[in-house]
């Protein structure tokens, strides 16, 4: 046991020195995905087996290998359609993120705007996209614009609500302290509120990423001449079920990729939010 | 009770006069009166510990002095200035939780006040980096708060408060979240740090011993609504370490008086 005076002189106590070597656990993310991958493979195998052994008609449920064949045969149609949908998804998604963040900041800064707009925003969230999409198609026709708008509307709310929530839930004690450290309103926003809100902002953006593809499909169903939603709409009455499934797979890949992209950006922008977990 | 104007530290180092003068201050929040008719005079460069039962308006008092809040009645002067924004210009607040920004390194956290004043990062680093060894933080400049121990986080927090270069430091239960061993080390450390960097200090704490160790005067507040019930000079010379100090008969007697005042 160290004498107290001595301890005070060697200001960093032994337990603190140990802090130098806090283990930085970086589990291999691919390994973490292992169980999920295995489950997917098992399910695919079971699916294939049931369809083959049960002699299920291909137009009802195509086996995975039939879907794979469809991918190859219909690649020209599928990939051009996927490209169209991808453009709608990305444009709508990024527009929603940009506008959503902008609006959240405005609502955060102005109490008047918050009181007047926020209830409308919450109300607006309850109008289903399925209802809005046909109206957009009537108003704006078959161009890409109505689809982008519908995707943006689908994504918008979760971005705004989460961003605003993050901005507003900053510890008030932190803001008090900032005032005593020469902190202006602007300095408090950019050095405290905005960075503190980033984890919450990313949550909203990640949720938006999962909804974007759904919004695009609804928009295409309401009026379009290309895109994965259009392909599905065409293939269904012709009982080309494998093509429908192939479209679904591509939509899922798109959604997962967008989600993954947002997660990677999140890790790069706010690494501190991840090493914080389990320690405060 | 010693007279309200007692100055234990003024004069000796050429600094004298009033740091903080509080007179007749009342502050209520709705039905609750946090402090009533509070009077307190704190000499420039003296260190005053404020102890009291929980909910006696200690934190209200800090907000009032700092100019983050205005009293309903009475006046507060900080270095002769009464208006809230001018009080704010003289005060720096170190809160109970270290409240370090988790996205900033220790060094960036400590530089916060300088950046707020418009100083470039490079300039701020050049100013603050040399202070790290004195605070027992050498080698930890680039660590994020989550990679520091509780005691180190409080030292970064204290450094950040010092760097604001304010005359008055308001320490609101700065070690409240620490374990008792780290706490004892930090009390000794804070004493020495304040010897090197003399400021007018108001230390809010619920720990009588902490107030006696760190400060040269201890003010005991009553239960809500808070007012001053006892004022003790704790300028105990001689003892070099906290342990010696705490064991000395004078210290024990003072602690007894403070505890008695707390209970009445």
Q: In this complex, do B151 and A19 lie within 8 Å of one another by their Cβ atoms?
A: no
Phi, psi of A62 (to 5 degrees): -75, 145
In this predicted model, which residue has the larger pLDDT, B191 or B105? B105
CB-nearest partner of B116 from A3, A183, A195: A183
Whether the predicted pLDDT of B131 surpasses 80: yes
Question: For A208-244, how does the pLDDT look when each residue is reduced to its tens digit (9 = 90+)?
Answer: 999 999 999 999 998 888 899 999 999 988 888 899 9
pLDDT at residue B174, rounded to an integer: 87
Distance from CA of B16 to the nearest CA of A (A): 24
The single-letter DSSP state of residue A189 is I
Q: Choose from B60, B67, B116 for mutation: most chain A CBs within 10 A.
A: B116
Question: For A87-139, how does the pLDDT look when each residue is reduced to its tens digit (9 = 90+)?
Answer: 999 999 999 999 999 999 999 999 999 999 989 888 888 888 888 888 888 88
**Pick from A260-274, B14-28, B152-166: least confident:** B14-28
pLDDT at residue B160, rounded to an integer: 92
Q: In this complex, do B99 and A181 lie within 8 Å of one another by their Cβ atoms?
A: no
pLDDT at residue A116, rounded to an integer: 93
Whether the predicted pLDDT of A21 surpasses 60: no
pLDDT at residue A25, rounded to an integer: 54
pLDDT class for B151, splitting at 50, 70, 90? Answer: confident
pLDDT class for A193, splitting at 50, 70, 90? Answer: very high
In this predicted model, which residue has the larger pLDDT, A150 or B258? A150
ipTM of the complex: 0.80
- Cα A262 to chain centroid distance, Å, stands at 6
Q: Is the peptide bond before B225 cis (omega within 30 degrees of 0)?
A: yes
Distance from CA of A119 to the nearest CA of B (A): 28
Whether the predicted pLDDT of A8 surpasses 60: no
Distance from CA of B170 to the nearest CA of A (A): 10
pLDDT at residue A17, rounded to an integer: 42
Residues B76 and B25 sit within 8 Å (Cβ to Cβ):
yes
| Cα–Cα distance for residue pair B201/B218, rounded to 1 Å | 11
pLDDT at residue B128, rounded to an integer: 93
| Cα–Cα distance for residue pair B81/B167, rounded to 1 Å | 13
pLDDT class for B157, splitting at 50, 70, 90? Answer: very high
pLDDT at residue B202, rounded to an integer: 93
The single-letter DSSP state of residue B43 is E
Question: For A169-185, how does the pLDDT look when each residue is reduced to its tens digit (9 = 90+)?
Answer: 999 889 888 988 999 99
| pTM for the full predicted model | 0.80
Q: Is B166 on the interface with A (CB under 8 A)?
A: yes
Whether the predicted pLDDT of B14 surpasses 70: no
pLDDT class for B105, splitting at 50, 70, 90? Answer: very high
Please provide the average confidence, as pLDDT, over all residues in chain B: 84
| Cα–Cα distance for residue pair A113/B51, rounded to 1 Å | 43
pLDDT class for B237, splitting at 50, 70, 90? Answer: low
Q: In this complex, do B146 and A272 lie within 8 Å of one another by their Cβ atoms?
A: yes
Question: For B21-45, how does the pLDDT look when each residue is reduced to its tens digit (9 = 90+)?
Answer: 998 899 988 888 888 888 889 988 8
pLDDT at residue B175, rounded to an integer: 86
Whether the predicted pLDDT of A1 surpasses 70: no
pLDDT at residue B6, rounded to an integer: 40
pLDDT class for A191, splitting at 50, 70, 90? Answer: very high
Closest CA to B93 of B45, B161, B46: B161
């Amino acid at each position: 046991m160290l004498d107290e005076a001595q301890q005070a002189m060697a200001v960093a106590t032994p337990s603190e020195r140990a802090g130098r070597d806090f283990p930085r656990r970086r589990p291999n993310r691919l390994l973490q995905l292992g169980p999920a991958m295995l489950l997917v493979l098992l399910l695919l195998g079971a699916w294939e087996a049931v369809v083959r052994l049960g002699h299920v008609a291909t137009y009802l449920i195509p086996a995975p290998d039939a879907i794979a064949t469809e991918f190859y045969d219909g690649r020209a149609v599928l990939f051009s359609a996927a490209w169209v949908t991808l453009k709608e998804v990305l444009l709508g998604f990024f527009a929603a993120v940009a506008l959503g963040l902008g609006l959240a900041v405005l609502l955060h800064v102005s109490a008047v705007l918050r009181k007047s707009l926020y209830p409308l925003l919450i109300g607006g969230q309850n109008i289903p996209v399925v209802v809005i999409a046909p109206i957009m198609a009537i108003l704006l026709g078959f161009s890409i614009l109505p689809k982008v708008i519908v995707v943006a509307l689908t994504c918008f709310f979760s971005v705004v609500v989460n961003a605003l929530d993050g901005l507003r839930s900053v510890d008030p004690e932190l803001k008090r302290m900032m005032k005593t450290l020469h902190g202006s309103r602007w300095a408090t926003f950019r050095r405290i509120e905005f960075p503190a809100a980033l984890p919450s902002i990313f949550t909203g953006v990640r949720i938006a990423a999962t909804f974007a593809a759904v919004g695009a499909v609804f928009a295409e169903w309401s009026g379009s001449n290309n895109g994965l939603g259009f392909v599905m709409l065409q293939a269904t009455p012709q009982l080309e079920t494998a093509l429908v499934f192939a479209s679904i797979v591509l939509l899922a890949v798109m959604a997962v990729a967008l989600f993954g992209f947002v997660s990677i950006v999140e890790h790069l922008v706010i690494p501190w939010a991840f090493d914080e977990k389990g320690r405060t | 009770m010693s007279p309200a104007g007692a100055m234990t530290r003024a004069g000796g180092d050429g600094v004298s006069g009033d740091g903080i003068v509080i007179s007749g201050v009342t502050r209520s929040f709705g039905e609750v009166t946090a402090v009533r008719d509070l009077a307190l005079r704190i000499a420039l460069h003296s260190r005053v510990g404020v102890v009291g039962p929980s909910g006696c308006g200690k934190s209200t008092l800090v907000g009032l002095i700092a100019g983050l809040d205005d009293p309903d009645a009475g006046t507060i002067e900080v270095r002769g200035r009464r208006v809230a924004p001018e009080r704010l210009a003289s005060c720096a607040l170190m809160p109970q939780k270290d409240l370090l920004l988790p996205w900033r390194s220790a060094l960036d956290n400590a530089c916060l006040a300088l950046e707020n004043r418009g100083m470039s990062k490079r300039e701020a680093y050049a100013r603050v980096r040399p202070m790290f060894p004195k605070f027992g933080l050498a080698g930890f400049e680039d660590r994020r708060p989550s990679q520091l121990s509780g005691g180190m986080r409080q030292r970064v927090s204290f450094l950040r408060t010092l760097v604001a270069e304010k005359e008055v430091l308001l320490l609101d239960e700065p070690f409240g979240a620490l374990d008792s061993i780290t706490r004892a080390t930090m009390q000794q450390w804070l004493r020495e740090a304040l010897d090197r960097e003399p400021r007018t200090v108001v230390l809010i704490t619920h720990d009588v011993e902490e107030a006696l160790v760190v400060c040269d005067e201890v003010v005991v507040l009553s239960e809500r609504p808070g007012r001053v019930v006892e004022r003790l000079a704790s300028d105990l010379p001689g003892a070099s370490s906290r342990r010696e100090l705490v064991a000395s008969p004078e210290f024990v007697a003072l602690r007894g008086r403070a505890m008695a005042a707390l209970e009445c």
